[in-house]
Amino acid sequence: MQPDLQSRRIAMRQFIPTALLSLLLGATTFAAEAAPARPWETSVYSVESGLLWQIGTGTPLTYRIVPTQLSWRSPEVFGHTFANGSRILFRHRLTLIASWIQAGPESHYVAVVGSPSVELWDKTGKYCLYTGSGGGAGLLDSREVKGGQGQDFTLTWFIRGGVEYAFSPTHNVSAGILYQHMSNGGQTKPNPGIDALGFTLGYTWRY
């Protein structure tokens, strides 16, 4: 056997295992990189809408409000994983609310609010229970109607809770309950606040 032919065969025997190992490592790395992020590991946007009914005694008017919320939630700020694999966590939430006042002297309300989002996810990362409370301020088209809001500038705070389901690696749906209070903080007298309670349905996408 010629020396150069023998050298090529030895080199080929060494090359094949090395190439196979490289392919295996490359496939493993690609699989790790392609693994979808958990729902709380990335920022998300969501759109929610629903219907709220006046339940308080601050005004004699029977308000009915249709809120639409465009929200941004941060990745997890901090959290804790339980022994069963479920995870409770905290993240930031900022929301633009555009409400149609379906029943009431005013016609619309626009506000910016902030709140934490507290979420309890199951071990699969598919389902979560969520809650949060926060507030902000906005503007409506006030009218000189007894029982209506006394001025355009209005403060608001809310409590929310519900369930969210991740039906794909980047998309979620949700259903929840929302309580919202609106008033002007005593800047006019009388100061007839609105206390409304109802439901919301939402759609969320991650990026």
**What does the pLDDT read at residue 163?**
98
Alpha-carbon distance 134 to 150, whole Å? Answer: 23
Other beta carbons within 10 Å of 12? 9
Closest CA relative to residue 81, chosen from 40, 131, 132: 40
Closest CA relative to residue 151, chosen from 113, 193, 117: 193
Query: What residue ranges do the domains of the chain occupy?
Result: 1-35, 44-206
- Looking at the chain, the whole-number percentage of residues with pLDDT higher than 70 is 83
Grouping H, G, I as helix, E, B as strand and the rest as coil, residue 125 is coil
**What does the pLDDT read at residue 20?**
52
pTM attached to this predicted model? 0.81
Class of 44-206 in CATH = mainly beta
Which of 60-64, 82-86, 141-145 is predicted with the least confidence, judged by mean pLDDT? 141-145
Q: What is the pLDDT of residues 10-67, one digit of tens each?
A: 555 555 555 555 555 554 444 444 566 889 999 999 999 999 999 988 899 999 999 9
- Average pLDDT of the chain? 87
Which of 15-29, 89-103, 192-206 is predicted with the least confidence, judged by mean pLDDT? 15-29
Angle, CA 178 vertex, CA 173 and CA 181 arms, to 5°: 150
Q: What is the pLDDT of residues 162-198, one digit of tens each?
A: 999 999 989 999 999 999 999 988 887 777 899 999 9
**What does the pLDDT read at residue 32?**
43
Alpha-carbon distance 166 to 46, whole Å? Answer: 13
- Looking at the chain, the whole-number percentage of residues with pLDDT higher than 90 is 69
Q: Give the amino acid at 123.
A: K
